[in-house]
Amino acid sequence: MQQTLVIAWRELPRLRDPDRFDAWLQRMLVHASYAEARRKRAWTANIRALPIDGPAGPDELASLVTRDEVERGFRRLPPEQRAILRRRAARQDRMFEPDVW
């Protein structure tokens, strides 16, 4: 739209029939829109799509959220069930022990 107004301002002296100003301006708007679409199409044609491999590194926020959920769930367990989980984790040599265990 702004480009159309700039072009119209420059081309105003060439307007032959001032009574047809609306149609003249509308035609300039259509031509400017087509030109902008061609420029965008040519620009996007140069973009190369990259493969999506997932995040570049570990998602620390998701890991923190998961750990927090596990800790809260662990706190809700009765002491006997906590002890069972601790023993099972120790037998499997896992390093997954939240601070609350």
End-to-end distance of the chain based on CA atoms, in angstroms?
A: 65
Compute the distance between CA of residue 92 and CA of residue 28 in angstroms, rounded to an integer: 75
Overall pTM surpassing 0.85 (yes/no): no
| DSSP-derived secondary structure for 52-76 | ----SS--HHHHHHHHHHHHHHHHH
- pLDDT (tens digit per residue) in 51-95: 777 666 677 788 888 888 988 888 888 888 888 888 887 777 555
Domain membership flag for residue 98: no
Domain presence at residue 101:
no
Q: Give residue 36's pLDDT.
A: 81
Cα–Cα distance, 96 to 79 (Å, whole number): 18
Is the domain of 40 the same as that of 66?
A: no
What does the pLDDT read at residue 46?
A: 66
Please tell me the total count of domains within the chain. 2
